[in-house]
Amino acid sequence: MTAAVPGVGTEAPDFTARNQHGEQLRLSEYRGRRNVVLVFYPHAFSRVCGDELRALRDRPDLLRQAEFLAVSCDSMYTLRAYAEAERLEFGLLSDFWPHGAIAAQYGVFDAEPGTAARGTFVIDTGGVIRWSVVNPRSQARSLDDYAQALAGLGASLR
């Protein structure tokens, strides 16, 4: 069951997931060390998702400001091939099993197609959600909005 989208000012739901290299990451490990941007997306190798993630890849100024973690319901093996094909060096996290559990915690799991919606959450070093947006699957998000949200975090640890 999908929870409501957690609000700005609330603690980010913690989770553990494997990245495209099979390494297990826990969101709470970034607390006190680095701001995090969670980028949920529906499918690896799809047009809109590819456009968004390539645009992010091409913004090193933005990538330096936080730990970007892109989350989809694709398998770790699919994410590895996707990262290699698109030269994506930030973390791609698999929400494959239990299917969509992380997206459901963040209120962005769409059960009908079995994918994550296009949701983004900026989380500060204290583990608190400071900005979020959820777009329809067909509508790309603005990287300038990410930059503005991260700038609003001020001088907190990056």
Domain residue ranges of the chain, discontinuous segments joined by +: 16-151
pLDDT recorded at residue 154 = 67
Residues marked active site are found at: 49
pLDDT recorded at residue 133 = 96
Provide the CATH number for the domain formed by 16-151 in this structure. 3.40.30.10
- Mean pLDDT, residues 70-92: 97
pLDDT tops 90 at residue 4 = yes
Burial class (CB in 10 A: 0-12, 13-18, 19+), 60: exposed
Query: What mean pLDDT value characterizes the chain?
Result: 93
CA–CA distances in Å: residue 35 to residues 46, 75, 152:
27, 25, 12
Q: Is 129 within 8 Å of 25 (Cβ atoms)?
A: no
**Phi and psi, residue 156, nearest 5°:** -65, 165
> How far apart are alpha carbons 28 and 122 in whole angstroms?
14
**pTM of the full structure:** 0.93
Q: Is 82 within 8 Å of 44 (Cβ atoms)?
A: yes
pLDDT tops 90 at residue 139 = no
> How far apart are alpha carbons 76 and 54 in whole angstroms?
19
